[in-house]
Structure 1
Amino acid sequence: MTLTFNQTSYSNLLAEISPKVIETELEYDRALAIAEKLTFDRNKTPEERAIYQLLVMLIEAYETKHYPMPTSTPQEVLLHILEASGIDRSDLVGKLGSSEEVSGIIEGKRAISQAQARVLGDMFKVSPNLFV
């Protein structure tokens, strides 16, 4: 059974929810509450899915502006992955170079080369771009 998009139903949802650019914390909290409710609704109509996607875009725009994520250095990413995986930095010796080279990378004194980034990407099954 294919559900068709009902413009009247969508218009009614738009009028009820009144989505708009989020400018305040109160509007942000309201949009989050509505989006959360829709997130867990397993039987969303096509119109509800469209409203949900719109709310998510508005929420993401607000969060990007008001809660920017700090960027991590390649060394911070490497340290996090090492800690999370339980792998010791000594396990990188030989794969990335000498112990001095690995120490320089870990301490942020030496950049990770493209070749080393590929090795780390393969080793941790992640994009090498995380390390450059």
Structure 2
Amino acid sequence: MNIKPIKTETDYRDALKAVEGVMNAKPGTPAGDTLDVLVTLVEAYEARHYALDPPDPVEAIKFRMEQAGLSVKDLEPAIGKSNRVYEVLNGKRSLTLPMIWRLHSMFGIPAESLIKPPEKHRAA
């Protein structure tokens, strides 16, 4: 198999087809090594051309709440009393740096998501 850098969208589609062909390869085999190299190339191309922005901070918090079955009460140690939690969740209050660090350390919410300005506060 001829492995080459992915420079164009056509190269990308070809690499995806090649990955599909060796998807079930066992690690440590020549086919498994080929799969590993192809996936690395595809991931690098996707990171450059299809990068995703971190979610809005409030959406990141709500997602973690849903994912972990958290309630407003569970967020109080990180944000403050329930009225403050509701203000944050409704976009009426911004997160402070201490809130961001507590949300990150207590609930594993990526800090990059929490420090991003909320959608409604960004310039168009």
8 A Cα contact 1:93 1:102, kept in partner: yes
Aligned identity (percent) is 27
Q: Which is greater in Rg?
A: 1
Residue in structure 1 matched with residue 64 of structure 2 by the alignment: 81
8 A Cα contact 1:117 1:128, kept in partner: no
Map of 1:3-42 to 2, 5 A cutoff? 16-24=1-9, 26-42=10-26
Residue in structure 1 matched with residue 88 of structure 2 by the alignment: 105
Q: 1:20 to 1:128 in 2, by over 3 A?
A: closer
Q: 1:95 to 1:127 in 2, by over 3 A?
A: closer
8 A Cα contact 1:93 1:99, kept in partner: yes
| Cα distance in structure 1, aligned partners of 2:100 and 2:2 | 47
For these two proteins, the number of residue pairs brought into alignment is 114
Residue in structure 1 matched with residue 51 of structure 2 by the alignment: 68
Q: 1:128 to 1:34 in 2, by over 3 A?
A: closer
Give the superposed CA RMSD. 2.9
8 A Cα contact 1:121 1:127, kept in partner: yes
Q: 1:43 to 1:72 in 2, by over 3 A?
A: closer
Please, what TM-score do these two structures have when normalized by structure 1? 0.64
| Cα distance in structure 1, aligned partners of 2:48 and 2:27 | 32
Give structure 1 stretches of 5+ with no counterpart. Answer: 1-15
8 A Cα contact 2:79 2:99, kept in partner: yes
Residue in structure 2 matched with residue 119 of structure 1 by the alignment: 102
Please, what TM-score do these two structures have when normalized by structure 2? 0.67
